[in-house]
């Protein structure tokens, strides 16, 4: 995938839930994945005007193809944090989304990385080509 286009970045705020805390008394390492997922779902609805629910109704889903996460500092119980995400590459097979998670109080970086998402047909589980309309909606 390659692209020279500059896409928008969006920021969503959440709070650590008690059940997110693990045996090291910090947010569990795999839970940051779920925070990014939650942020993208919010942002798809709020900013891209095509929510995951809409994709699901049409029989499509977005699934993670590749994930890369670099952990810097853990979040702890009841911490508020922001998840900033933005597409860095987009084509008719999917997109790469960069993200960072920051502690809202300290403004320090907790983790960052990227995800490659592909569009799938939920019946067959096979990857699908994005329609022109989808690409247009997400090219902001």
Binding interface with its own copies (CB under 8 A): 17-19, 21-26, 28-31, 33-34, 37-38, 41, 45, 51-53, 56, 61, 63-71, 74, 77-78, 122, 125
Judged by beta carbon, residue 38 or residue 140, the one nearer its own copies is: 38
8 and 47 in contact (C-beta within 8 Å)? yes
CB 92 within 8 Å of CB 68: no
State which residue, 91 or 127, has the beta carbon closest to its own copies.
127
Q: How far is the CB of 20 from its own copies (least distance, A)?
A: 9
Q: Which is nearer to its own copies, 53 or 136 (CB)?
A: 53
Annotate 81-91 with b (16+ C-beta within 10 A) or e (fewer).
Answer: bbbbbbbbbbe
Among residues 15 and 129, whose Cβ is nearest to its own copies? 15
Q: How far is the CB of 13 from its own copies (least distance, A)?
A: 12
In the complex, what is the shortest distance from the CB of residue 53 to its own copies, in angstroms, rounded to a whole number?
6
CB of 8 to its own copies, least distance (A): 21
Euclidean distance between CA atoms 93 and 100, whole angstroms: 24
- Least Å from the CB of residue 5 to its own copies: 26
- Please choose, from the candidates 85, 80, 83, 84, the residue with its C-alpha nearest in 3D space to the C-alpha of residue 104: 80
The residue among 116 and 135 lying less far from its own copies, judged by its C-beta, is: 116
Residue by residue, DSSP assigns 80-101 as EEEEEEEEEEEETTEEEEEEEE
Strands (E), the chain: 9-15, 60-71, 80-91, 94-103, 109-121
């Amino acid at each position: 995938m390659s692209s020279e286009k500059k896409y928008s970045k969006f920021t969503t705020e959440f709070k650590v839930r008690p059940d997110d805390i693990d045996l090291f008394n910090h947010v569990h390492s795999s839970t940051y994945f779920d925070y990014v997922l939650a942020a993208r779902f919010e942002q798809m609805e709020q900013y891209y005007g095509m929510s995951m629910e809409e994709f699901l109704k049409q029989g499509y889903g977005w699934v993670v193809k590749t994930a890369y996460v670099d952990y810097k500092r853990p979040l702890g119980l009841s911490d508020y944090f922001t998840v900033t995400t933005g597409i860095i590459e987009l084509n008719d097979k999917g997109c790469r989304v960069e993200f960072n998670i920051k502690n809202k109080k300290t403004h320090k970086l907790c983790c960052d990385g990227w995800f490659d998402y592909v569009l799938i047909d939920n019946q067959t589980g096979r990857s699908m080509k994005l329609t022109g309309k989808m690409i247009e909606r997400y090219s902001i």
